[in-house]
Structure 1
Amino acid sequence: MGTGDKGSFIISVSTSVSGKRSGHDRCQSDPPMSNLLHNLVHYPRLFQLIAVLGFGGSFQYGFQIPVLNSPSPFIKAFINETWLRRHNSPITGGTLTLLWSLIVSVYSIGGLIGALVSGYFIGLYGKRTCQVCNSIFPVVAFVLVACCRIARSFEMILIGRFLFGFNAGLGMNIHAQYLSEIAPKKLRGFTNVTCCIFVTFGKFCGQLVGLSELFGTESLWPYVMSVCAVASLVQLFLLPFLPETPPYLLMEKQDEAGCMKAVQQLWGKGDHREEIEEMKQEKAAMKSIKIMSVLDLLRDRSVRLQIYVMVALMVGMQLCGINAIYFYSNEVFREAGFSDDQIPYIVLGVGVCETLSAVIASFLIDRFGRRGLLLTGYSLMGLALVLLTVSLSLKVWFPWLSYASIALIILFTLLFGVGPAGVTLAICVEIFTQTSRAAALVVVGSLNWMGLYVVGMAFPYIVVGLRQYCFLVFLVCIVLTVIFCFMFLPETKGKSVLEVTEVFRKLKFPRQHVLGRAQNSNNEQIMSTRF
């Protein structure tokens, strides 16, 4: 290679790097949600797919968490009535508690199984086909629950709850992975946060339909799950007409024409060369690597730091205290002087706040970044827990502090929605490549369901032992999560998957990175003297 060739090579490399940087800077400087109406007009099919996926995906998970709270007395009465008819004697308190615990917890068991098998089915059939088939489970589960009184079988409620859990566990993983692959770079953060929006909206709807004015009555409680069935039917009929994800078509199906068609359907007929080029680069980089299983992922040393970050994020979200807040809020509201008839509506108001906070996060995530929202949210949540502990401890001497406790609960919920709840899943899907993302989401789903089960079982005992000081346990978890994320979590805003992978490599091997930079600098100096 002659001197002129070397100069041309350096000029071409520098031009490509500068071009890449300029595109990256454009993405960074572009305020993606400042013109939401423009995006709705420019990406109509993308927003249609987000809505269909949301109602058939994470909405189901959120809806099932609170939906049985209000109708629980009627369900327990039905169990007792069925037991009496079968055995000619009323059910004992211990047996009733056991059966009710099974009805509540079997949802988590079904969810865990659904999360564990999601990677296998996604790899075998693709995300769209799996989600279409998954839409059948809520319909079957609703029919079982709706017919339980006619069949005089509380076992049908158990089976229905298990199927709802399986649907949610499988659907959450498919939904998260689908979202991570359908959006252009400038809308990637917003698109990923919609998963959290549908979770919180599902919780709100679950609280709403359980009220006595709707399905929370003795005659209508078997039909409380009809909302899930309707949402699944909508997805079942509409999703086949919407496109598969472009990365899946290009990297796993080797269908470049199908990928281009899906891109044009989702993003319009504009210039999408940068995103398509990134997909091709990722495809080239992963050409010799097969789709990872969970065991392959856990054994792969190259993504070990990403796994640690993912586990820290999921454990931190489960142990930050949000579930404890929901558990303790009824007692705080009761101590503030609200009656038991009023408390469900106040809790519904808290659910509205959580939904609004998730919507706010969708506007902020592409402007302020994932890392900033996460660290700020956790830090302010920790401060809110300190103040809540103080107010609960001193309310005996200062009764007005009960109202301060209510305000702090609402503030904590808002901070959780804007911070950890809004960005945790987005980060988890953005730090893994196409070959490892499905396996990573299996781990994410498993940690989520196990954490939900453990916290639900252990927290009542923590409350009995520590009372208002129980929140200090979660404060310690928040502090540890903030320290870990500050040290090891990079910003993923505006970066491609390969760029994020390179950042993690530099964090894992900082000395090699410094030596490499020094060597490149020396090479550049030597080459520059040859011109």
Structure 2
Amino acid sequence: MAAPHTSKDEKDVTTDYIDDSGGRRPTMSSIDLNKNLEAKISNPLANVPYHTLMRDVEEFAHDKDLDDLIPILKKGALVAQDPSKFEEVESLDEDELVALRNEKLHKWKHPFALYFTIITCSIGAAVQGWDQTGSNGANLSFPTEFGIGHGEDEGHPNRWRDNLLVGVVNAGPYIGSAFMGCWLSDPCNFYLGRRGTIFVSAIFCLLTPIGGALSQTWEQLFITRLLMGIGMGLKGSTVPVFAAENSPAQIRGALVMSWQMWTAFGIFLGFCANLAVYKVPIIAWRLQIGSAFIPAVPLTLGIYFCPESPRWYIKKNRYRKAYNSLLRLRFTSLQAARDLYYIHAQLEVEANIIGKSNYVSRFAELFTVPRIRRATLASFVVMIAQQMCGINIIAFYSSTIFREAGASERNALIASFGFGLVNFVFAWPAIWTIDTFGRRSLLLFTFPQMAWTLLAVGFCFYIPKDSTAHIAMIALFIYIFAAFYSPGEGPVPFTYSAEVFPLSHREVGMGWAVATCLFWAAVLGISFPLILNAFGATGAFGFYAGLNVLAFVMIFLWVPETKQRTLEELDYIFGVPTKKFISYQVNKALPWWIQRWVFFNKNAVLEPLYHFDQGIEGTDVPESSQNAMVLDICTLTYHFH
């Protein structure tokens, strides 16, 4: 592409191309991605004249040693220039037109390589879930064996110390992830790629559960769980990014959310394993912890057969390999060429704003470059909200909670098994809702529901323990809580964080986001036994119910919608200043929702925040309905057409 001219004062992305007569012709939209005051989403190819575009493609092909692909790249560039009008591109043959039509009509129809990649990523998620729950059942026995099992003994002098140590052991993987694993993901991705990093993480997750099962002291168990955290951090920071970069925009949310869905499945399998071996004498807890190595085996083998991320290849300036990877992920060479050139064009715009940086400066730029800072804030909110909602007090300590409610060890494990099943089953609806209702809408709908269900759990502890209703009502509201969590705060954080950062900062940004999530998971793991001991069950659940309300407010103010936009188009979404976004939500979106859904005023109209320039292929909703991308506080009550 011809070099754009950028104002030194305004740092504007854009701009003009010089024609053969020396005059300037506008091409890219004049939008500053650090201060997108008009909230426009633009296609960088939209206004490029035909002859200029063809010349740019030839220069691109010569520069990237892709001369043999010039004809197909030219076709791809014309399609990318206005994806909604591909029927008007005269150079396309009938097979290419059919492929593009099918892409719109059959959004779930994609090559096997794409789905194999998602399946492999799903196995990685199952490893994550199983690792989390191995200690859940083991909590009932390993503390006693290691001499730290006095947490339930009223008046015992070591009660607080033992509660703290059990919490530290449970939090080991999250400490290891937050302080080591997540931050190693950026250099590992730089040198090893997405696949190589996932392979290394799989090795950690394969060996550390076995080491934990062979531990002879709580200190040894803690160390193995710290090392497990390195694998979990590498995997959690890389797998969602790998899935997001390989997936087409229209179903990216559904495919990337498989991370959470299969994490839930891994949690469920972990509960199954806990229940299956709880009667084995002496070594039950060892089997419960050690069994987590099982799903790491197919992950270690399967990642070898996946195509590497095309965007990672582009980042490394390996365009030929990026094209070959796209050929495996798309049905035709036209689609591969279109995506290759469009990604390149948008990354040229991105480079004008962000430039090149090293690891240290990339981390600093998470908080200093406005476009990236907004993504950092939004990912922080959705990630910390996953701990504020209280899901992990159930995932880590459900067996302890149910035994606190008066259940036997067997019944506590059965009740925990039920929680794992509900958590997995209710994750499935998000496959269809995350790309239609959107990430933000799901969060705004489910957080109030999680707040009242946790409050109900706490009040159920007032029911006399000798009543059958005591344990039954506690289990019921915990299951309802899980049913609301699974399609909302369950799949959204990792999906959202994997897509909001620009390619230049995607690894370090995702590392930051996952470190945030797992650091606060560690805090939760350490603190919950102490909170339960100090406040009692009712106080502990009431505390987390209040945190759900706080998380709802944070999401409302700071989390933009990202559904059905390409990863590159999200640069424009996060170009909108935070102050402008908050002002829109408070002064326009909220009053509109009150008018429409409290007073049922059908004539209430919401002015959309985002404006779509020509050449952007959006969702199938009309522009008047695209405000769904912004709020939508009305959540599941909003009707898409």
Give 1:475's aligned amino acid. Answer: A
Q: Aligned partners of 2:540, 2:526: CA distance in 1, in Å?
A: 15
Q: Give the counterpart of 2:240 among 171, 176, 179.
A: 176
Q: Map of 1:433-448 to 2, 5 A cutoff? A: 433-448=502-517
Q: Deviations over 1:244-300 (max 9, x none)?
A: 1011112x1222221121112123337525533431223212345225632232232
Q: Is the 8 A contact 1:317 1:420 kept in 2?
A: yes
Match of 2:549 in 1: 479
Q: Deviations over 1:19-39 (max 9, x none)?
A: 35668xxxxxx9999979x64
Give 1:105's aligned amino acid. Answer: A
2:567 is equivalent to residue 504 of structure 1: no
2:224 is equivalent to residue 157 of structure 1: no
Task: Give the secondary-structure state (helix, strand or coil) at the position aligned to 1:59.
Answer: helix
Q: Give the counterpart of 1:130 among 191, 197, 202.
A: 197
State the percentage of identical aligned residues. Answer: 20
Structure 2, unmatched stretches of 5+, are 1-18, 30-45, 50-77, 87-100, 149-157, 585-606, 614-641
Q: Is the 8 A contact 1:145 1:223 kept in 2?
A: no
Q: Aligned partners of 1:443, 1:188: CA distance in 2, in Å?
A: 21
Aligned-residue offset at 1:202: 1.6
Cα distance change, pair 263–327 in 1 and its aligned pair in 2 (3 A): closer
2:382 is equivalent to residue 313 of structure 1: yes
Q: Aligned partners of 2:226, 2:259: CA distance in 1, in Å?
A: 22
Cα distance change, pair 474–249 in 1 and its aligned pair in 2 (3 A): same
Aligned-residue offset at 1:485: 2.4
Q: Is the 8 A contact 2:381 2:558 kept in 1?
A: no
Q: Deviations over 1:133-185 (max 9, x none)?
A: 2322233324534554xxx6665433322221211111111112111111111
Q: Which protein has the bigger helix share?
A: 1
Aligned-residue offset at 1:434: 0.6
Task: Give the secondary-structure state (helix, strand or coil) at the position aligned to 2:513.
Answer: helix
Cα distance change, pair 410–268 in 1 and its aligned pair in 2 (3 A): same
Give the TM-score normalised by the residue count of structure 1: 0.79
2:335 is equivalent to residue 268 of structure 1: no
Cα distance change, pair 472–195 in 1 and its aligned pair in 2 (3 A): same
Cα distance change, pair 356–217 in 1 and its aligned pair in 2 (3 A): farther
Match of 2:590 in 1: none
Match of 2:176 in 1: 110
Q: Aligned partners of 2:498, 2:213: CA distance in 1, in Å?
A: 37
2:362 is equivalent to residue 298 of structure 1: no
2:445 is equivalent to residue 376 of structure 1: yes
Q: Is the 8 A contact 1:215 1:221 kept in 2?
A: no
Q: Aligned partners of 1:397, 1:102: CA distance in 2, in Å?
A: 33
Q: Map of 1:340-359 to 2, 5 A cutoff? A: 340-359=409-428
Match of 2:540 in 1: 470
Q: Give the counterpart of 1:491 among 554, 561, 583.
A: 561
Number of residue equivalences: 491
Give 2:302's aligned amino acid. Answer: L
Q: Deviations over 1:28-56 (max 9, x none)?
A: xx9999979x64xx33211212222332x
Structure 1, unmatched stretches of 5+, are 24-29, 82-91, 521-531
Q: Give the counterpart of 1:202 among 259, 263, 266.
A: 266
Aligned-residue offset at 1:211: 2.2
Task: Give the secondary-structure state (helix, strand or coil) at the position aligned to 2:478.
Answer: helix
Cα distance change, pair 332–441 in 1 and its aligned pair in 2 (3 A): closer
Q: Is the 8 A contact 2:205 2:232 kept in 1?
A: no
Q: Aligned partners of 2:82, 2:378: CA distance in 1, in Å?
A: 31
Task: Give the secondary-structure state (helix, strand or coil) at the position aligned to 1:418.
Answer: coil
Aligned-residue offset at 1:353: 0.7
2:112 is equivalent to residue 44 of structure 1: yes
Give the TM-score normalised by the residue count of structure 2: 0.67
Q: Is the 8 A contact 1:336 1:403 kept in 2?
A: no
Q: Map of 1:243-282 to 2, 5 A cutoff? A: 243-250=307-314, 252-269=315-332, 271-272=334-335, 274-282=338-346
Aligned-residue offset at 1:415: 0.6
Aligned-residue offset at 1:338: 4.7
Q: Is the 8 A contact 1:110 1:163 kept in 2?
A: yes
Q: Is the 8 A contact 2:405 2:465 kept in 1?
A: no
Give 1:290's aligned amino acid. Answer: K
Task: Give the secondary-structure state (helix, strand or coil) at the position aligned to 2:238.
Answer: helix
